[in-house]
Structure 1
Amino acid sequence: MEKQLLLGNEAVARGLYEAGVRVISSYPGTPSTEITEAAAKYDEMFSEWAPNEKVAAEVASGASLGGARSFCAMKHVGLNVAADPVFTMSYIGVNAGMVLAVADDPGMHSSQNEQDSRNHAKAAKLPMLEPADSQECKEFTKLAYELSEEFDTPVILRLCTRVSHSRSIVECEDRTELPLKPYEKNPAKNVMLPAFAKPKHVAVEQRLLKLTEWAEKAGINCVEDHGAKVSIITSGISYQYVKEAMGDSVNYLKLGMAYPLPEKLILDFAAKAETVYVVEELDDFIETHCKKLGLSVIGKEKFPRCGEFSQKIVRKLLTGEEAESVSLEQQIPVRPPVMCCGCPHRGVFYALKREKVYVSGDIGCYTLGASAPLNAMDSCICMGASVSALHGYNKARGAEAEKKSVAVIGDSTFIHSGVTSLIDIAYNRSNSVVIILDNSITGMTGHQQNPTTGYNIKGDPAAAVDLEALCRAVGIGRVRVVDPYDLKAVTAALKEELQAEEPSVIISRRPCALLKYVKHSAPLKADPEKCIGCKACMGIGCPAISMRGGKAVIDATQCVGCGVCTSLCAKNAIA
């Protein structure tokens, strides 16, 4: 049995391989992305990037009905997108096993909210497993398929940033090859007309009761009894924090099944202790269950609802003691995230700021356009919302607003959920300007291919969506392409389209500066003799430009020679 040091996400992929999974469909979303990237390296499994999480879940469901074990992965906000099919898939169940992995992001390292996906499991009435390290990621993945097929249900695997992106030892085993299960036509099971769905709801409630019985004796819900007076009920990464903070000084009930939760097991565990704490990040999910059972537990009155926990936080809140930590002699300067040197989005946002327009923003690395010194974004809700929110903004404020407002959306995000919003603009007619920031890749999550790039997840040639043709096909008559490195062209296009009496699309097209195939120009230099220290070049927020001794200086190790800054210098000091 080979041992490997794997990320939690890589361990999930290994679990998929060992469980005999055949079909994997996902949309990239940090912190879940590496699951599908790692799975794509196993040729025995078909892996794909889907246009969005809803499509991915539907692909996985279809594969399951077709008799193959299937899987899809997403981040927590992706589960919102997939919720429509997921809630009904709970009624339908499976043929071969189906598992969905959702990675929550406590602390919002790369997310627009901090939701707790356990609530989705409860609302959809689906079982959820929650691993605490990489070995459990692999084992719980394989267990999820056993439960899926035993109880005729999709199963959710709940991860979080620290579990997904931490490494620990994993014992790897051989793949179990499984034949396709036969498909049998069964409309009463698989077609959710009201007449068929009503009895299925009853079956789902009965299934939950059986799953609760299973949870009472499940090995993944385990007690560690150290004979202490204080006991702690916890799960997932919170168990790791508590265990490291408190050692063997307390008793533990580690819940590997996040939903449904056991009852008798919890009651018996709590009965042996003088004080019972519930330690869980985000919502009071376990705590509420315990209190519903009549237990007096200490939870969110002591532990915060917001942000990540840590060993230090847990120990302080449980004991009042400050854990020893290394202190830095000098304060590390704040380093907020910025758009990269040569980022094609920078010029667009500078032009938007200069023209003082309202910018309806979206999800991607271009969301950094909201940060100083650009400060060129007014709102950001979710994937695809920039386009539809702009339409609503303009319908509310009228013709004058249409002349001073735009939406910005990336190419991958536009395919994900911006297309239908653009259809709304064309169909219900607002003179809205949509800027598609086409950098030829899915940038924010680490350069994954998407339906506009012409390549699939393995880098093989694939059909590529023609953005210009697509925009025209949905009813947009004015579509133009600009190079974001050419500030004059960007500004001219922006002014013209804002004055147009019909909806329009501007496609800002240039590949991400970090793509390996992109050939950069020689770095630029600032002539100290010509520079007057006006700091106009600092307005674009390029990390390569700084001020020293009152003069602009360009770091040759960072500059990619994009030339955007040259048009800002009235003295022609940059060349």
Structure 2
Amino acid sequence: MDLLEEPGCSRPEEAIDRAFGTSIAGARALCVLSASSAGVLSRISDLGCGGGILFLLVGQEDAPPADLRPLAQQLELPLLTPAVPQDCASLLGEGFALSGKIAAPVLAEVGPWLLDAASMVEFPQGQSASLLDYQRESGRFVRLPGAEKQKIQLAERRKALLSWLEVSPCVTRKGEGETGLIVTGGMAHSVPQMERLAVLQLGMGWPVNLEEIRRFSQSVEHLYLLEKGRYLAPILAEAGIPVEPGLPWAPEETISPDLPARPPQLCPGCPWRGVLYTLKKEKASVFVESGCLSLGAGLLMKGVDGCGAGSPLALAMGFAASRPGKAGKTAALLTAQGWEGCSFAQLGDFSSSRIFAVVLEDAAQPAQLTPQQVARAMDIPIVEADSHSLSQIRDGVRSCMARPGSVLILHGSCAAKEESLPAHRVDRELCTGCRQCLRMGCPAISFPEHKSAIDPNCCAGCGLCGEICPVKAIQKGEKA
């Protein structure tokens, strides 16, 4: 099936209706919404759909994740809760299949555990979905007085959903033992490796597959529950499924914050990687916006000192004011939108401060005002560099360090929104195993058999690793 990408919508109602109209026409539709806007779905939740329709509900990175299960129950719409990127890829097709079976929208939660993930996934072999025949049906896509049609549709939906639960692939069991643990959604990341622990991973937040849970509880001697909030616990209690309090491990056995199940990392080809690497080499203190930039604090890079409430300029100025020795060696990293949103008063304070700023002018996400226009309006000195040139970045950073109150403007694009260049490759005859390239913190680079290797399916071709290789063992790839 061809993918038709519609332009972004300014309101959730507009996005929902655009997807709903696509579904009415008989095609499949995928709609991405903020989780905080999910309540708007109540306006179509009791209506049918033509082609399958899947709503991805994305949590905000700077806000605590909301529990969407009560809302799904209220709307009577199934909610998929993938735990890892591979689950997300697998459940997309399952979500469309389920939507077609029950003739209703399906929800899928995209929580922080997926937003920060950057890993390769394998999409299952799918079947093409042809455009369904369209026929106007009174009450199917329109809410009528009395709502008799909707009542019939809801009854048919419940029946189809119950039959689907009997064969649902959204429940997986791992391990064997006398101790059982039920895990929901992204909480799977908090389960340590334990012997004789059976885990039942629920990939669906609603409806709850009580029969599968009951069978699981009967196969273990002790049953525990790990969930976000307290939605499932009272449901299990009402169903007579006994769950013991607490968890089957001591607090010290939980995963260490230094060893996450999925190390946070910037994507291959990220335009921020070069400047984070350079700032770390220059021993600068770095403060960033929330979101992708915070991944620079992960195990592979370890290049970020702080991420505050939304103003890295203020955060960096507060740090530098208390650390006179860091004058000129404190940087605030912002997107063009964040730079544009700074107040005149804040930019005035910045221009006379002891810090410098690095702003990404992302060609894929332009701001209303360019970073240069904002800087010139406040008489802030400007230095510019290509995000994929370490030499330009190094010269630019050193220039800004020598002149606090200036801004380094990076030219680049989000790697997820631009076409990748040919993947680089490692000449294993030249590679000495010095590990210099690993310091770039790129997930495309590995170190098998004491030599560097680059995954061609992951590499974005930015070339930063080749710049730091002392023996030039990393070489440009060729166009296919």
Counterpart residue number, 2:173? 223
Q: 2:341 aligns with which of 326, 330, 345?
A: 345
- Give the one of 25, 32, 38 matched to 1:79: 38
Q: Are positions 1:89 and 2:38 aligned together?
A: no
Identical-residue share of aligned pairs (%): 18
Task: Map Cα deviations across residues 347-394 of structure 1 (whole Å, 9 max, x no partner).
Answer: 35669x99xxxxxxxxxxxxxxxxxxxxxxxxxxxxxxxxxxxxxxxx
| Partners of 2:54 and 2:242 in 1: CA distance | 35
Alignment pair present for 1:126 and 2:77: yes
Instruction: Tell me, yes or no, if structure 1 residue 256 matches structure 2 residue 203.
Output: yes
Determine the C-alpha separation between the residues in 1 that align with 2:35 and 2:160: 27
Residue-pair matches, total: 325
Cα 1:264/1:524, change in 2 over 3 Å:
closer
Counterpart secondary structure, 2:187: helix
In the alignment, does 2:239 pair up with 1:293?
yes
**1:63 maps onto 2:12 in alignment:** no
8 Å contact from structure 1 (residues 230, 250) kept in 2 = yes
What are the within-5 Å matches in structure 2 for residues 138-153 of structure 1?
138-153=89-104
How much is the aligned-residue C-alpha RMSD, in angstroms?
Answer: 4.5
Distance (whole Å) between structure 2 residues aligned to residue 140 and residue 88 of structure 1: 25
**What is the SS of the residue equivalent to 1:60?**
helix
Alignment of 1:224-243 (within 5 A): 224-226=174-176, 228-242=177-191
Deviations 1:196-218 (CA, angstroms, capped at 9, x unpaired): x2442353245224313422332
- Tell whether the 8 Å contact from 1:315 to 1:323 is kept in structure 2 after alignment: no
Alignment of 1:409-424 (within 5 A): none
Match of 2:217 in 1: 270
Task: Note if 1:212 corresponds to 2:159.
Answer: no
- Show CA shifts across 1:30-80 (max 9, x none): xxxxxxxxxxxxxx4233201122210111111100111111012211323
1:115 paired residue number? 66
Extract unaligned runs of 5+ from structure 2: 260-298, 314-333, 350-359, 382-397, 411-480
- Contact kept? 2:19, 2:30, Cα under 8 Å: yes
Aligned twin of 1:554: 405
Does the Cα contact within 8 Å between 1:64 and 1:97 map onto a contact in 2? yes
Give distance in 2, aligned partners of 1:202 and 1:513: 57
**Structure 1 counterpart of 2:470:** none
Q: Point out where structure 1 has 5 or more consecutive residues left out of the alignment.
A: 1-19, 23-43, 304-313, 355-442, 454-509, 526-543, 560-575
- 1:158-237 alignment to 2 at 5 Å? 158-172=109-123, 176-195=127-146, 197-226=147-176, 228-237=177-186
Report deviation, 1:248: 4.3
- 1:101 is paired with a residue whose SS is strand
Q: CA deviation at 1:122?
A: 1.0
For 1:418, the equivalent position in structure 2 comes to none
Are the equivalent residues in 1 in contact too, given 2:65–2:112 (CA < 8 A)? no
Aligned equivalents of 1:64, 1:322: Cα separation in 2: 43
TM-aligned CA distance change 1:187 to 1:156, over 3 Å: same
- The question of whether the paired residues in 1 share the 8 Å contact of 2:15 and 2:31 is answered with yes
- Rounded to whole Å, the distance in 2 between the matches of 1:271 and 1:114 is 32
Distance 1:180 1:217, change over 3 A: closer
- Separation of aligned partners in 1, 2:209 and 2:363: 39
Partner of 1:419: none
Q: How far apart, in 2, do the equivalents of 1:252 and 1:67 lie?
A: 39
- Residue identity opposite 2:6 in structure 1: S
What TM-score does the superposition give when structure 1 sets the normalisation length?
Answer: 0.48
Q: TM-score, normalised by structure 2?
A: 0.57
1:297-308 equivalent positions in 2, closer than 5 A: 297-298=243-244, 302=246
Shift of 1:140: 0.6
Within-5 A mapping of 1:499-538: 511-513=369-371, 524=380
Structure 1 residues 150, 224: CA separation in 2 closer, same or farther (over 3 Å shift)? Answer: same
Contact kept, 8 Å, 2:140 with 2:149, in 1: the verdict is no
Write out aligned runs for 1:485-496 (5 A): none
- State the secondary structure of the residue aligned to 1:233: strand
Q: Secondary structure at the match of 1:180?
A: coil
Matches within 5 A, 1:291-440: 291-298=237-244, 302=246, 316-317=250-251, 323=256, 325=258, 334-336=306-308, 337-338=311-312, 340=334, 343-348=339-344
- The aligned counterpart of 1:16 is none
Structure 2 residue 83 is matched with structure 1 residue 136: no
Q: What is the alpha-carbon distance in structure 1 between the residues aligned to residue 207 and residue 201 of structure 2? A: 14
SS at match of 2:235: helix
